[in-house]
Amino acid sequence: MSHKKGIETRLAHEGEDRLAHQGAVVPPLYQNSLFVFRDWDDIDAAFADRTARPIYTRLTNPTTLLAEQKIAALAGDGYACRLTASGMGAVSAAVMNSVSQGDHIVAVKNIYGPTNNFINRYLAGKMGISVTFVPGDDPAQFAAAITDRTRLIMLESPSSAVFGLQDIPAVVAIAKKHGIRTMIDNTWATPLWQRCLDMGVDIEVHSCSKYLGGHSDIVGGAIVARPEVIHDIIVNESELLGATIAPQTSWLLIRSLRTLPMRLRSHAESARNVAEFLETHPAVKRVYWPGLESHPQYALARRQLKGFTGLMGFTLATTDLTRIKAFVNALEIFQIGVSWGGHESLVYAPAISYLRDLPPERFSDLGISLGDIRISVGLETVGDLLADLGQALEKAV
């Protein structure tokens, strides 16, 4: 068929040869560390490209290869994928592949916390890497931060903390002018809604523990880039640092990817209902979700994103900690938890973390508020989610 297949069809069938596996509709799980060879010449031929044929699961595994093929197809044509043991496994491998001792990184300020700690604390101490953080809402900030040691620009758009966006093509143009590699954490949008590599970004990373997995039953990560970049990461960071995904996790991910488009459409629709409900509620001061026209970068969001997902933030109107706690504790369907992107609705208050080290009076110095709330809108009946938020918000008035 010359017709170009849609992404739902590709996620369902890409790379699968069912008749080669007794007609099994679900691909077999190669739950093994090792693969054996017919003779000397056979293993010698396998070593000619350690990434192509399974030798040992730290490098390659057929179940993982199948999941990688599907994620590469999701990201666009002509790309390759490497799966890792977690999202941080993907971030650390991609960064290590991009910088050497003494190099400089420009990163967006609200990048995921452990990513920030990895480049700014861990690599700074061990490899003398320096980092300049920029707010990211104006591409000129990146241009101004570049030095002759800058090797990497790190984006996260929208950021999962404050939902700020970067103008991806504009930052890519600046980076290309200086020969600097760009990397983006695309976990929030997934490649279904945001085609970063097609916009010119060199490396895209994901936590598969969020929407790509979608069932809150796996921890994994993905790096997607041109095949030569992925090959280099496999034979260096994957082999040497060893944060390899487990075959069973890849197998569960293959299951998850089949329903990604329909899950994301449902998350997007429910999230819009929830965001609009919150925006008009008197107990809510402000809602942070790039799909709302009130979002300061709404025009950029419409240009760059093909859709929106279920993680959003809002600030309660009250600054009374007792009422803020009462709101969180009154929620029945939204459960208290730190992750997001799964089937279940979740709530988290950043103050739970900040109050451990910071008195409430200092919150405004950091641009945060005691009443900041983060929710992950899941796949439950949206009317139930609105009713749950409505009854809990009465405790915050």
Ligand X SMILES: Cc1ncc(COP(=O)(O)O)c(C=O)c1O
Beta strands 181-185 and 150-156: pairing type?
A: parallel
Is 87 or 247 the residue whose CB approaches ligand X more closely?
Answer: 87
- Rounded CA-CA distance 254/212 in Å is 9
CB of 30 to ligand X, least distance (A): 22
CB of 146 to ligand X, least distance (A): 24
CB of 340 to ligand X, least distance (A): 7
Is 192 or 284 the residue whose CB approaches ligand X more closely?
Answer: 192
CB of 290 to ligand X, least distance (A): 14
Q: Which residues bind ligand X (CB under 6 A)?
A: 86-88, 112, 160, 185, 187, 207, 209, 219, 221, 339
Is 209 or 270 the residue whose CB approaches ligand X more closely?
Answer: 209
- Rounded CA-CA distance 389/367 in Å is 25
What is the number of other CB atoms lying within 10 angstroms of the CB of residue 316? 25
CB of 90 to ligand X, least distance (A): 8
CA proximity to 278, closest of 136, 386, 149: 386
Measured CA to CA in angstroms, residue 70 lies from 6, 47, 114 at distances of 13, 25, 27
* Complete edge-to-edge strand list for the sheet that includes strand 203-207: 80-84, 221-225, 203-207, 181-185, 150-156, 104-108, 130-134
Q: ∠ at Cα 94 (89, 99), nearest 5°?
A: 130
CB of 325 to ligand X, least distance (A): 23
Q: Which two tokens stand for residue 316?
A: 């309660």
Is 54 or 340 the residue whose CB approaches ligand X more closely?
Answer: 340
Q: Which residues, listed in sequence order, are joined to residue 373 by a DSSP beta bridge?
A: 314
Is 318 or 340 the residue whose CB approaches ligand X more closely?
Answer: 340
Q: Which residues, listed in sequence order, are joined to residue 39 by a DSSP beta bridge?
A: none
Is 161 or 393 the residue whose CB approaches ligand X more closely?
Answer: 161
CB of 210 to ligand X, least distance (A): 6
CB of 355 to ligand X, least distance (A): 20
- Rounded CA-CA distance 204/156 in Å is 10
Is 164 or 221 the residue whose CB approaches ligand X more closely?
Answer: 221
CA proximity to 378, closest of 251, 219, 222, 210: 210
**H helix intervals, the chain:** 7-13, 40-46, 62-75, 87-98, 113-117, 123-127, 139-145, 168-177, 190-193, 227-233, 239-241, 247-258, 260-279, 298-304, 321-330, 350-354, 382-393
- Rounded CA-CA distance 228/257 in Å is 24
Is 206 or 281 the residue whose CB approaches ligand X more closely?
Answer: 206
**Nearest residue to ligand X, using CB?**
87
